[in-house]
Chain A
Amino acid sequence: MGLATRKKVFSIMALCAMVGLLLFPIVMSLPTPASGEEAPAADGAKKEGDKVEKGRDVYYKTEGIVVGAPAPKTTDGPKDYPRYNFESRVLLWFANQQHLYYGSFVLAVPIFCMVIEFMGVVTKDKALAKRYDQLAYDFIKISLTAYSLTAILGGILIFTFLTLYPAFFGYLSSIFRPVMHIYALMFVAESGTLYIYYYGWDKMKEGFLKWIHLSMSVILNVIGTLLMFLANSWIGFMMSPAGVDEQGRFLGNIWHVIHTALWNPLNVHRILGNMAFGGGVVAAYAAYKFLAAKTEEDRAHYDWMGYIAMALGVAFLIPLPFAGYWLMREVYAYRQQMGITLMGGLLAWLFIIQATMIGILFLSTNYYLWQAMGRMRGAEKYQRYIKYLVFLLAVGFLVFITPHTMVMTPAELKAMGGQQHPVLGNYGVMSAKNGGINVIITTTVLSFVWYMRGNKVSTVSWAKFGNIFMGVFFACAYVNIVWLAIYGYYIPANVRVGLSVPQVATTLSCLFFMFALNSVMMKGAKQMGPIEWGKISARSQYALIMLATAFTWMMGLMGYIRSSVRLFWHVNEIMRDNSPWAYTHTVGFAANMISFNVLFFWISILFVFWLGSLAAKKVPVEAKAGVPGSAPQPAGSH
């Protein structure tokens, strides 16, 4: 058997092993949901005649045989709430948040690797293919150290739960016993796959083997995503329990426990959020390296890396508000009081802060794109119109952050004549806010379109018509979004919620149709000059750092909001929190805590990056030579 054939066989075997690892936990778990603990209970029931206790599912309303113990009624004391001389909840908050940051990072980065490696495999430009491959390798190298940290932080989290909230954790693990085992097995599968993927990089770099390697990244990401879905089922259960009766007794159907009212929207929202976050972190890494670079080549490389990471992150940021909207809608539909606590009640002001962070994300993205146009010859033609884009973004932002509940002195309240302002009061509700965010996103799409055509002049015969069509399309989109925002005031609230669909459709139409049209128009376009990678202002890199910080901060904030909405419940309406900390923190305390978490994450991730740089792999010579703008830039790269 020749060397190449042997490698092929080994690669295929490794791939099969990965698929096996992926399926192993599922196969192992198959008997669990099928019989679960239902079977022994049923047997027991037969033996004892008719003494089967049945319960009604709190969410699905189905009847089931009670097979679990009721949720413990905890009391404040060392038995249920052992503690150090410190607020246990804050320790748990810290452990949870750090684990989540790293978990998100190691979920997102392999997906980026997959996308970038794929781009490298399909591109026909060999120099560019090597650059993509090197970039993907750099990413996975970083994620390897972060993966170890994720596992360590996960361990710390479990120990924190066990030591500080034993009664609650005991109850949760009694419900999720099979899921937790599958989770652990999936973690093993993830580790194995990741190591084979990483260490097999050089061995499988060409031809058929490269495709096998790429397939491995797909499996790696499937495992990672499933892991996240399982973890989401726990938080979903805590917010919107199902599969148990009113006393919290498990009714034997594990799928009901997993598939709660909020599980699916949480999954979608989290996967998009993690991707956007991962993109932000990598972009910030590239920005830091750019600012610290000593040579033109390094600057060009990190400028390019920052752009790719930012583009990937923003690609997931754009649908994120819609996924968030869906999640909130489902929360509201599940429990009115949860929806009101979040959007109009106790936590409403945190949503204003969240809106501010979302605004900052989009503003930073737009600003970066405008700065990036500075490294293209020919993009000057758009500069004088930027002020109008600034206006659109600023107005959208102002409406989006207008609070419904205003902070004011009693004198101001009297001067205003009531809690609501006749002008601004209308900005403070969802109809206007939907308009605001859609205007912001549409403007971001417009900035992207301008960036894509920055140094190009279309040569297609219908270019003039195409430009007019695009202009009219965007103008109509703005009119439609604003009109629907106004119309929303004149229809019932449940119909108004439905109006967000045509608004979103308008925004997404701009995204998909205009990107597609622009790509067609720019095919074979005349280039005014190459993209001069590395010739971007330092301000743009600070915008990337701002983007990443805002992502991190917002993630911490939203996690806090989502968890706080349970108020004094460990498991909503099932298990009450009877610790001394069953109250909601003030906005100021929460902001300080989130900031501390963000700071800690960034300091620790700097350590991870530093570790990554210790074993820096030399960039191939031919790849470096092609970087500073001399390599032909495919349309897809900008």
Chain B
Amino acid sequence: MKALMSVGALVGVIGLLLLVGMIFDVVPSNTVRLVEGYMPMQMITELAIFVGSFAGLSYMLSAMGMGIPRFWQGIAFWAFILLYLKFRVYPPIPFSVRAMYGTVSLVAVFMWMSSNEEDWKKFKQPIMNVMDAQTGMNKLLRYAYLILLPILIGGFSYNAMVPKSEEPIELRTVHPAPPASTKVHGKTYVLQTSQNPYRVNPEGKYDQEYTNANIVEQGMGRLMKPNANPWDQNAQGYLKYVREGGEIFFQNCHFCHGDNLNGRGLHAFAFNPIPANFTDPGTIAQLQETFIFWRVSKGGIGLPNEGFPWASVMPPWEQHLTVDEIWKVILFEYWHTGYYPRTWD
């Protein structure tokens, strides 16, 4: 047990040193990389390792008679979480989310510190000592708090109220609610029931299963199945339509949505917000194919009033493409990203 705790403590110290190094730019921030595709679990695993290591560190320090008081343990752990979120995770997390995480972490620290009476007493002790002010130092601290706290609160209030010239924060709805049906080139499409006419099997019948089978790996669909190459000029049926969709995409869409469909095209960063990233599991993978059909057809200008402003500059493609072309380009988008459209059967 002691050996395990020692290893934990060692890992904790190394981890902390790395984090401090990253904060002060002594250690390159990508020393321990967050690997694409594994980042979410990597972050949780790192935090779990830190928790285990801190337990080991605390155990070792106590064994050596240098135990850190409960109060400071709690404060230090919370500070660690805040610093970890700010300096470890890249690209940076918006402040609003860090504030939410920080609050949850604070509550968690409180729950940990007050889960039993003994710990709670230990945690409260330094606070009570300052309130009681039995020693000179504590008396001084109490006066200092008495003066500093109102100044601090006043400062925060002033900062909150003072007019600013910063850009305002935005809460943009990612998925606008589609209508029940949409009219494109004079024909009405019911979004709940319409189907992509090019999602067909070799017999030419609508077949979602068949088309899904031509995607090798979900989320990494750039890999092609053997004998399922849409760029082959002899490809027929579904694969042929994928190719045709791809041609339309590269003639019209890739300037904004990017060669890899990740929303980072040539013009992408001229827009705010930047175009949708189709490789993200939160975009087309979450939606029915008819939703995309409606979005592509009507563009930014056709978005519903509720939740306005949308700030989407996508043109209404029905003015430039035929219905068939729109369906084909959607087929290509799903094929290329490796996602399947949402269905309810």
Query: A residues engaging B (CB < 8 A)?
Result: 332-333, 335-338, 340-341, 344-346, 348-349, 359, 363, 366-367, 370-371, 373-374, 380, 383, 386-388, 390-391, 393-395, 397-399, 401-429, 431-432, 482, 486, 489-494, 537, 539, 567-568, 573, 583-584, 587
Cβ-defined contact, B269 with A414, below 8 A: yes
- Give residues of chain B (259-291) contacting chain A, Cβ–Cβ below 8 Å: 263-264, 269, 272-274, 276-277, 280-283, 285-288, 290-291
Please tell me which one of the listed residues B36, B55, B177, B291 contacts residue A422 in the complex, with CB atoms under 8 A apart. Answer: B36
Cβ-defined contact, A584 with B277, below 8 A: no
**CA of A249 to CA of B171 in the docked complex: distance in angstroms?**
40
Tell me whether B125 is interfacial, beta carbon within 8 Å: no
Q: Which residues of B contact A335 (CB under 8 A)?
A: 180, 192
**CA of A482 to CA of B41 in the docked complex: distance in angstroms?**
9
**CA of A335 to CA of B119 in the docked complex: distance in angstroms?**
52
- Can you give 14 contacting A-B residue pairs, CB < 8 Å? A337-B191, A340-B175, A340-B177, A340-B291, A348-B173, A359-B104, A366-B111, A367-B115, A394-B107, A394-B108, A403-B97, A407-B96, A427-B40, A492-B339
Distance from B257 Cβ to chain A, minimum over Cβ atoms (Å):
11
Q: Which residues of A contact B226 (CB under 8 A)?
A: none
Cβ-defined contact, B218 with A406, below 8 A: no
Tell me whether B174 is interfacial, beta carbon within 8 Å: yes
Cβ-defined contact, B171 with A493, below 8 A: no
Interface residues of B, count at CB 8 A:
81
Q: Mark B287-303, 1 if CB is under 8 A from A, else 0.
A: 11011000000000000
Cβ-defined contact, A423 with B286, below 8 A: no
Q: Which residues of B contact A415 (CB under 8 A)?
A: 91-92
Q: A337-B178, A416-B92, A429-B281 are in contact. Are A410 and B218 (CB under 8 A)?
A: no
Q: Which of B51, B191, B291 has the most CB of A within 10 A?
A: B51
Main secondary structure of the interface of B (DSSP, over half): loop
Q: Which residues of B contact A340 (CB under 8 A)?
A: 175-178, 287, 291
**CA of A140 to CA of B49 in the docked complex: distance in angstroms?**
51
Listed from nearest, the 9 A-B pairs whose CB atoms lie closest are A344-B175, A492-B340, A408-B94, A493-B342, A394-B108, A341-B177, A407-B96, A423-B39, A337-B177
Q: Mark B150-179, 1 if CB is under 8 A from A, else 0.
A: 000000000000000011111111111111
Please tell me which one of the listed residues B55, B93, B282 contacts residue A404 in the complex, with CB atoms under 8 A apart. Answer: B282
Cβ-defined contact, A332 with B41, below 8 A: no
Q: Which residues of B contact A427 (CB under 8 A)?
A: 40
**CA of A422 to CA of B307 in the docked complex: distance in angstroms?**
25
Q: A344-B174, A391-B51, A407-B96 are in contact. Are A418 and B277 (CB under 8 A)?
A: yes
Q: Which residues of A contact B119 (CB under 8 A)?
A: 383
**CA of A491 to CA of B100 in the docked complex: distance in angstroms?**
30
Cβ-defined contact, A393 with B273, below 8 A: no
Known: A407-B94, A413-B273. 17 other contacts (CB 8 A): A337-B180, A340-B291, A348-B173, A348-B174, A363-B107, A390-B111, A394-B105, A413-B272, A415-B92, A419-B273, A421-B93, A423-B89, A429-B286, A482-B41, A492-B339, A493-B286, A567-B306
Main secondary structure of the interface of A (DSSP, over half): helix
**CA of A415 to CA of B97 in the docked complex: distance in angstroms?**
14
Query: B residues engaging A (CB < 8 A)?
Result: 34, 36, 39-41, 43-44, 47-48, 51, 55, 89, 91-97, 100-101, 104-105, 107-108, 111-112, 114-117, 119-120, 166-180, 191-192, 212, 217-219, 263-264, 269, 272-274, 276-277, 280-283, 285-288, 290-291, 306-307, 339-345
Q: Which residues of A contact B177 (CB under 8 A)?
A: 337-338, 340-341, 345-346, 567
Q: Which of A388, A391, A429, A568 has the most CB of B within 10 A?
A: A391
Please tell me which one of the listed residues A332, A333, A410, A493 contacts residue B170 in the complex, with CB atoms under 8 A apart. Answer: A410
Chain B residue at minimum C-beta to C-beta distance from A426: B40
**CA of A335 to CA of B344 in the docked complex: distance in angstroms?**
11
**CA of A406 to CA of B172 in the docked complex: distance in angstroms?**
8
**CA of A392 to CA of B247 in the docked complex: distance in angstroms?**
48
Cβ-defined contact, A387 with B112, below 8 A: yes
Distance from B343 Cβ to chain A, minimum over Cβ atoms (Å):
5
Q: A404-B282, A493-B285 are in contact. Are A409 and B170 (CB under 8 A)?
A: yes
Q: Which residues of B contact A418 (CB under 8 A)?
A: 263-264, 273-274, 277, 280
Distance from B197 Cβ to chain A, minimum over Cβ atoms (Å):
19
Chain A residue at minimum C-beta to C-beta distance from B36: A422
Distance from A591 Cβ to chain B, minimum over Cβ atoms (Å):
14
**CA of A80 to CA of B180 in the docked complex: distance in angstroms?**
26
Chain B residue at minimum C-beta to C-beta distance from A494: B343
Cβ-defined contact, A421 with B170, below 8 A: no
Please tell me which one of the listed residues A344, A383, A491 contacts residue B218 in the complex, with CB atoms under 8 A apart. Answer: A491
Cβ-defined contact, A406 with B94, below 8 A: yes
Q: Which residues of B contact A539 (CB under 8 A)?
A: 114, 120
Please tell me which one of the listed residues B40, B94, B105 contacts residue A416 in the complex, with CB atoms under 8 A apart. Answer: B94
Please tell me which one of the listed residues A345, A399, A425 contacts residue B280 in the complex, with CB atoms under 8 A apart. Answer: A425
**CA of A546 to CA of B345 in the docked complex: distance in angstroms?**
41
Cβ-defined contact, A402 with B117, below 8 A: no
**CA of A492 to CA of B284 in the docked complex: distance in angstroms?**
11
Cβ-defined contact, A346 with B173, below 8 A: yes
**CA of A504 to CA of B175 in the docked complex: distance in angstroms?**
27
Distance from B199 Cβ to chain A, minimum over Cβ atoms (Å):
13
Q: Which residues of B contact A345 (CB under 8 A)?
A: 173-177, 307
Q: Which residues of B contact A408 (CB under 8 A)?
A: 94-96, 169-170
Q: A394-B104, A407-B94, A584-B306 are in contact. Are A420 and B115 (CB under 8 A)?
A: no
Cβ-defined contact, A393 with B89, below 8 A: no
Q: Which residues of A contact B339 (CB under 8 A)?
A: 492
Q: Which of B101, B111, B191, B341 has the most CB of A within 10 A?
A: B111
**CA of A399 to CA of B168 in the docked complex: distance in angstroms?**
26
Q: Which residues of B contact A391 (CB under 8 A)?
A: 47-48, 51, 108
Q: Which residues of A contact B277 (CB under 8 A)?
A: 418-420
Distance from B214 Cβ to chain A, minimum over Cβ atoms (Å):
13
Q: Which residues of A contact B95 (CB under 8 A)?
A: 408, 412
Q: A337-B179, A410-B167, A493-B286 are in contact. Are A398 and B101 (CB under 8 A)?
A: yes
Cβ-defined contact, B91 with A416, below 8 A: yes
**CA of A359 to CA of B341 in the docked complex: distance in angstroms?**
31
Q: Which residues of A contact B345 (CB under 8 A)?
A: 494
Q: Which of B101, B282, B283, B307 has the most CB of A within 10 A?
A: B282
Chain B residue at minimum C-beta to C-beta distance from A338: B177
**CA of A413 to CA of B274 in the docked complex: distance in angstroms?**
9
Q: Which of A348, A366, A412, A587 has the most CB of B within 10 A?
A: A412
**CA of A333 to CA of B283 in the docked complex: distance in angstroms?**
18
Q: Which residues of B contact A388 (CB under 8 A)?
A: 51
Distance from B3 Cβ to chain A, minimum over Cβ atoms (Å):
19
Cβ-defined contact, A395 with B44, below 8 A: yes
Q: Which residues of B contact A407 (CB under 8 A)?
A: 94, 96-97, 169-171
**CA of A346 to CA of B304 in the docked complex: distance in angstroms?**
11
Q: A345-B175, A395-B44 are in contact. Are A386 and B306 (CB under 8 A)?
A: no
Cβ-defined contact, B170 with A419, below 8 A: no
Q: A407-B169, A492-B212 are in contact. Are A417 and B101 (CB under 8 A)?
A: no
Cβ-defined contact, B290 with A336, below 8 A: yes
**CA of A390 to CA of B345 in the docked complex: distance in angstroms?**
39
Q: Which residues of A contact B288 (CB under 8 A)?
A: 336
**CA of A405 to CA of B170 in the docked complex: distance in angstroms?**
10
Chain B residue at minimum C-beta to C-beta distance from A567: B306
Cβ-defined contact, A393 with B175, below 8 A: no
Q: Which of A388, A397, A408, A413 has the most CB of B within 10 A?
A: A408
Cβ-defined contact, B180 with A424, below 8 A: no
Q: Which of B115, B172, B191 has the most CB of A within 10 A?
A: B115
**CA of A407 to CA of B100 in the docked complex: distance in angstroms?**
11
Cβ-defined contact, B116 with A370, below 8 A: yes
Cβ-defined contact, A420 with B282, below 8 A: yes
Distance from A369 Cβ to chain B, minimum over Cβ atoms (Å):
10
Q: A336-B291, A348-B173 are in contact. Are A490 and B218 (CB under 8 A)?
A: yes
**CA of A72 to CA of B132 in the docked complex: distance in angstroms?**
71
**CA of A489 to CA of B338 in the docked complex: distance in angstroms?**
11
Chain B residue at minimum C-beta to C-beta distance from A390: B112
**CA of A438 to CA of B122 in the docked complex: distance in angstroms?**
33
